[in-house]
Structure 1
Amino acid sequence: MSNNIEAFGDLVFGLPVMEARLSEPTFESLKKTIDSGTALDPSIADEVAEAMKEWAMEKGATHYTHWFQPLTGSTAEKHDSFIFPDFKGGVVTQFSGDELIQGEPDASSFPSGGLRATFEARGYTGWDPSSPAFIKYDSCGATTLTIPTVFCGYNGEALDKKTPLLRSMKVLSEQTVRLGKLFGIDCGDAMAKATLGSEQEYFLIDADLYAQRPDLIRTGRTLFGKPASKHQQLDDHYFGAIKHRVAAFMADLDKALWESGVLAKTRHNEVCPAQFEIAPVFETLNVSVDRNMITMETLKVTAEKHGFECLLHEKPFAGVNGSGKHNNWALAGPDGKNWLSPGDNPHENAKFMTIVVALLKAVDTHADLLRVSVASAGNDHRLGANEAPPAVVSVFLGDQLTDIIEQIEAGGAKESKDGGHIELGVDMLPKLPRGNTDRNRTSPFAFVGNRFEFRAVGSNQSPAGANVVLNTIVAEAFDYICTEIEAGLEKGGEFNAVLQKVLAGVIKEHKRILYNGDGYTDEWIKEATEERGLPNLVTTADALPVLQTQKAKDLFAKYNVLSNEELESRYNIYAENYDTLIEIEAATAADIAKTLLIPAAVMAINEYASVPAVAGLTDEMSSLTEKAVAGVKALEAAEGPAAQIEAMGALRETIDALEAIVPAELWPLPSYDELLEV
């Protein structure tokens, strides 16, 4: 294991490699670009490219690729070799600065949502120097220098998820630096940087069983399946001893991730059998997003090597936990400190409380945008139960911070509630200090000590979308608070008095978003929607129109994160994708029912027909089979996602009832009992 740790970052063209291979002026120039966001000096590009190529070829690379994140939600790459003819019958290797900085993959078949027509399909990739290049091995052993890039159209339109992410990070940094100066923190050209740690949940199932489930292959989730006799009822899988086969997979996974520079730290069994989690240490946000995409791909590749299939769908199995991607967001100021770390006495930390109050304003003002940022057909099955938050977005602060918020609203915080101690009831153990917040697993947006955890992101989603929204709405809140403070100071006000007045006003307007209770209860949903006026966008179809509101257009355009046309393109792409995914599920469900499951039931009826003792079962199977045939017809006739989802649910109920009585040896699909046993 020590060798694995020693190999950390071995496949990454990071700062240590750069410093060793680049001239000092080139290294310092590139490092300044990475640290401070200054424009890249194009004169250093050739030297950097040559160093990258030589390093990559020493690692066995023969090709390079500009690696980008189109609006499909996954990653994309086109490989070009380093070879170039020497015009003497042989080749030389070369990689220029121009090739490093910009590529032209065309990539005309990626969704653009109307941003470009087929006859205007030229697209460009541009190097993101803030995210290090790395070596990637594919399943056949080919080695490729992989360069993180943005992807844009001929006129600069953002055709990817990274471009708006970088834009949102820029505006957040600008407003954070502005806020810092009001608090007497001026760090020159230093940037503020949002940080992220993306926990990743996933399922592992046996690859041979996966191959027998057309629904898993085509849609990522099981469209049929009666509950397993034993699944997560006893909570005995959660944090349990990891089985040898899975442990071997996890060891290889860590090795691969560490070599790729991914700070994978925590691994454990999750609640449902066959469900697991991996969690990294936080990093600068855009790097963390890139490395989460690496993690998802590595999960798939490593699982295949161990005879598993890794399922990243948010709800591959009905009736048990789904999988999320807890988005742990924090903010490092230009001074390099975490500005969401409250210290020992949060009520004395005015800067910390200002940021907390700004987040209340941001989330309350744009709860609908946060909801749509995690909207997908898969996540619709997960939100609202089994440790996934509800569709109603609220903020959890815990008793201590909520008390301080109430004091600020009332005229000023004078004291902080003692967090107290947790009495363990065992004399030989010391008292453990209680944290300043408990954890609320039903809250979509919860403060957890030194960061906010947005729990609604789906396991199969890129974290980019949620963080584009989060960065932008927090920047807007900072902008408002800074403007109000600056106006008060211009009128001769004393800073602390002005700050207190501004924060109290924001709290009065936005405190409705605060909720520390159980987010799963019907009582809360009723209170949230009817009394507090919070949006409850239950499905993706409910949420997507938010992207077309004037409020959303004005927000993203004001801060140059997404133009109106770019925002409209996202709506078009996501709406079409949602409709298409539901159509694929509906067609798959009808196909499986007609060609596999109903014939199995008919076979069972015929076998039972001559056995009087089981006449009751034969009658029940016959009745359910007739109902299933009718259900297939209803599904095939259904038009539109809502009708198709309803028809799929009705058909599933009937088919699952059939599975419960058809002999197991006749049922053609592996059962939940088999699938969840790894």
Structure 2
Amino acid sequence: MSEVLNVEKLFGENVFTLGKMQERLPKKAFAEVKRVMEHGGELDNATADVVAKTMKDWAVEHGATHYTHWFQPLTGITAEKHDSFVTHPDENGKMLMEFSGKELIKGEADASSFPSGGLRSTFEARGYTVWDITSPAFLKEDATGVILCIPTAFCSFTGEALDKKTPLLRSMEAISEQAMRIVRLFNKNTTATKVTPSVGAEQEYFLIDRAKYLQRKDLIFSGRTLFGAPAPKGQELEDHYFGVIRERVGAFMKDLNVELWKLGVTAKTQHNEVAPAQHELAPVYETANIAMDHNQLVMETMKKVAERHNMRCLLHEKPFAGVNGSGKHDNWSITTDTGMNLLDPGETPNENIQFLLVLACVIKAVDTHADLLRRSASNVGNDLRLGASEAPPAIVSVFLGTQLEDVVRQLVETGEARSCLEGSTLHTGVSTVPDLPMDATDRNRTSPFAFTGNKFEFRMVGSSDSIGSPTTTINAIVAEAFCEAADRLEAAGEENFDMAVHDLIKEYMTAHQRILFNGDGYSKEWEKEAQRRGLPVFPGMIDSVEALTTDKAIRLYERFGIYNRAELESRKEIVYETYVKTIHIEAKAMIDMASKDILPAVIRYTKTLADTIASLEAVGADSSVSKTLLKDTSALLSQASAALENLKQKEADGNVRKKDARKQAFFYRDEIVPAMEALRAPVDALEMKVDRSFWPMPGYADLLFEV
């Protein structure tokens, strides 16, 4: 038997939790921390010093020598700068370990060295990291030692957000304020004071052997295979999904869980995903900003633990062509501080008027801002999977299920929902297996925005992406819908409230029912139907970028103080630049691999074939098979060589188009991406013909099935 883990004792071991604060802080200081966490405001200097010293003492007890303001710049990953607790020695030469409230609350980073989209010039360096008191500090151990990590927001010297966390925190306050207006309208005597969005971020990933990974320049430089012929077997038999977990992978998962539990991450579900070598981890729901922090830790820890097991964790959305890629499901709900989930329909949703209004507002929000939702789930890797019959379509729609769809239909048609479909009983037909109560509705895995009982599941997010932008977007658009509904209902007055609610629900559901779709999102018929309905269709990442700075978007975000115009303009610029830089790296990697590895290997192989033909003919043997193989290989070699030269030229042309980021992005999409595909096609065909001993890198069979 393996060592028994005490998960309850282990959980949160490396986190400076609220419980640890309560144990260690003076009562007055703890009460002040709780007040700021729950109601906002600032800690006074004396309290901040007490908290900092207590946090430092706890960290040092666990071996920490340094601290860092841990933040999430617009690179999409995390950043940290380590400072030791060491200060000047005292008069006796004894080293002192100190950490002040000022150092806890505020730090400084070079803001010009992170993506800023023009908010910071190269010579304007100052940026600030500011403690997010609502997200607990934690300890992280790496080759440098044990580090106290303090989650922070990151802003420029002039106050603009340069990160993912700051807008998310702003959006959380916006939706809390507007949702509380709805709650108070329906519950006059409520003791609730705020509404908090919660998120559970399911994470898909691939595991491959590290030694084989290091033989693939494309994986090293771009995170995906830019060349690769299909293996004899893919996912056709559907035998990997939920299959028995291999021992090597199971050992990784065991260690991963331990590391995550120590960090307070509620890792709960693990299983094999659809594609070979693909897996998934799902946590329990958490407050949105903590969920975002934890998802970054999940991705980082996956990579670290994989290295220990001589494996490599791939988080790219499409590391292998021909099999499913990886996504991340952003499960979103909103709950009051008294425990009421505003998305819980109850036993009879047709009679739950507050729920129906909240539902109507969400439907209105998604329909009004489908373009922003699409943008929030867009990155370069996700272009390779969205709409590819393996992930949600690139068209945003809402799935409600048959029960709620029927309620909406009644409301739209008659203004009242007098009935509600109920679940039936599943009869197994086996005497020793009990009959089971069935849900009133099925699930729809093709829907991008699906209601799943008491939450919405935003299924478009890419596996490598931060959940910050998608969650910020959902919070913002729903806050706007709540605000507009509350304005109308408050203006109606108490005496007209019931009728006003009734009319508003019917109005919203009628006006925005076009966004509702319960069918197959992969079908071509849905694409045509979506266009007929007038839904926005954005095939790829850069098609949706302009959605960030429409009048509608600027009005939304500035209204609730989530982004200002300059912050939105900067993000638009960053998206275009990121697209260009990513494709540029991929193109350069392809050129390097084809020029230095693949074509030389094929040339060596053709020489061997030519030598074989000469030897066969010298003894009068039949050389027809070798001649055919040489002819076919040479033709593909010529095709690959021409495609390589074309890609080099296109890449050179792309490099001189630097003045307009948008034009350059579209040039890369329309010219360079097709040139890359044109090079890949003959190379993949060559891989199917060339003797394995000549091919310069592991193939798909080696990568996907030898873990």
> TM-score, length-normalised on structure 2?
0.94
Partner of 1:91: 95
AA at the equivalent of 1:484 = R
Contact kept? 2:85, 2:97, Cα under 8 Å: yes
Matches within 5 A, 1:54-453: 54-88=57-91, 89-138=93-142, 140=143, 142-184=145-187, 186-187=189-190, 190-409=193-412, 410-453=414-457
Distance change >3 Å, CA 322–CA 185, structure 1 → 2: farther
Alpha-carbon offset, residue 42 of structure 1: 4.1
The alignment covers a number of residue pairs equal to 674
Q: Please list the CA deviations of residues 522-571 of structure 1 after superposition, one character each: whole Å capped at 9, or x if unmatched.
A: 00001101x10111101112111111211111111111100000010100
- 2:668 is matched with 641
Contact map agreement 1:436 1:449 (CA 8 A) in 2: no
- Once residues 528 and 427 of structure 2 are traced to their aligned partners in structure 1, the CA distance between those partners, rounded to angstroms, is 35
Residue type at the aligned position of 1:526 = K
Moved more, 9-18 or 584-593: 584-593
Report the 3-state secondary structure (helix = DSSP H, G, I; strand = E; otherwise coil) of the residue aligned with 1:497: helix
1:498-647 map, 5 Å: 498-529=500-531, 531-609=532-610, 610-611=612-613, 612=623, 613-638=625-650, 639=654, 640-642=667-669, 643-647=671-675
SS at match of 1:453: strand
Distance 2:274 2:389 in 1: 9
Aligned to 2:692: 664
The letter of the residue matching 1:8 is F
For 1:195, what is the secondary structure of its paired residue? strand
Contact 2:66–2:84 (CA<8 Å) still a contact in 1?
yes
Bigger Cα displacement from structure 2, 1-10 vs 649-658: 1-10
Structure 1: distance between partners of 2:59 and 2:635:
65
**Which residue in the other structure is 1:11 paired with?**
14
Classify 1:186/1:59 alpha carbon distance in 2 versus 1 (closer, same or farther; 3 Å): farther
CA distance in structure 2 between the aligned counterparts of 1:355 and 1:420, rounded to whole angstroms: 27
Whether 1:45 and 2:57 are equivalent positions in the alignment is: no
Provide the aligned C-alpha RMSD in A. 1.3
Question: What SS class does the counterpart of residue 676 from structure 1 fall into?
Answer: helix
User: What SS does the aligned partner of 2:83 have?
Assistant: strand
1:108 counterpart SS class? helix
Q: Deviations over 1:177-235 (max 9, x none)?
A: 01001001554572110000000000000000000000000000000001111121111
CA distance in 2, matches of 1:555, 1:618: 63
Q: Report the AA paired with residue 345 of structure 2.
A: P
Is the 1:390–1:444 contact (alpha carbons within 8 Å) kept by the matching residues of 2?
A: yes
Aligned to 1:462: 466
Three-state SS of the structure 1 residue aligned to 2:149 is strand
Structure 1 distance, partners of 2:138, 2:190, is 31
Q: Aligned partner of 1:657: which letter? A: A
CA distance in structure 1 between the partners assigned to 2:53 and 2:642 by the alignment:
66
What's the CA shift string for 1:381-407, capped at 9, x where partnerless? 011135410110000000100111111
CA distance in 1: counterparts of 2:431 and 2:49, whole angstroms: 67
Counterpart Cα distance in 2 of 1:95 and 1:446: 47
C-alpha distance after superposition, 1:445-490 (max 9, x if no partner) = 0011111000000000000010111000000011111112122227
| Distance in structure 1 (CA, Å) of the matches to 2:377 and 2:85 | 39
> Using the alignment, how far apart are the partners of 2:44 and 2:358 within structure 1?
35
The one-letter code of the counterpart of 1:502 is L
Return the offset for 1:9.
0.3
Unaligned 5+ runs, structure 1: none
Give 1:587 shift.
Answer: 1.2
SS state at 1:572 partner: helix
Contact 1:107 1:123 in 2 (8 A): yes
Distance 1:344 1:187 in 2: 22
After superposing the two structures, state which structure 1 stretch, 328-337 or 392-401, moved more: 328-337
2:112 is paired with a residue whose SS is coil
Q: TM-score, normalised by structure 1?
A: 0.98
SS of the equivalent of 2:444 reads coil
- Separation in 2 of the partners of 1:329 and 1:431? 31
Q: Matches of 2:161 and 2:242 in 1, distance apart?
A: 42
Tell whether the 8 Å contact from 1:195 to 1:283 is kept in structure 2 after alignment. yes
* Structure 2 gaps, min length 5: 614-622, 655-666
Instruction: Work out the CA distance in 2 between the residues paired with 1:187 and 1:221.
Output: 52
Distance 1:588 1:54, change over 3 A: same
Tell me, in whole angstroms, the C-alpha distance in 2 between the residues paired with 1:624 and 1:343: 63
Give the whole-Å Cα distance in 2 for the aligned partners of 1:437 and 1:37: 41
**Contact 1:49–1:100 (8 Å) recurs in 2:** yes
How far has the Cα of 1:335 moved from its partner? 2.5
CA distance in 2, matches of 1:269, 1:550: 44
State the alpha-carbon separation in 2 of the partners of residues 146 and 464 from structure 1.
19
Shift of 1:156: 1.2
| Alpha-carbon separation, structure 2, partners of 1:147 and 1:600 | 50
* Deviating more after overlay: 667-676 vs 185-194: 185-194
Q: Which residue of 2 aligns with 1:497?
A: 499
Identity value in percent: 51
CA distance in 1, matches of 2:638, 2:505: 64
Runs of 4+ deviating beyond 4 Å: 185-189
Other-structure match for 1:676 = 704
CA distance in 2, matches of 1:505, 1:334: 30
- Equivalent position to 1:21, from 19, 24, 30: 24
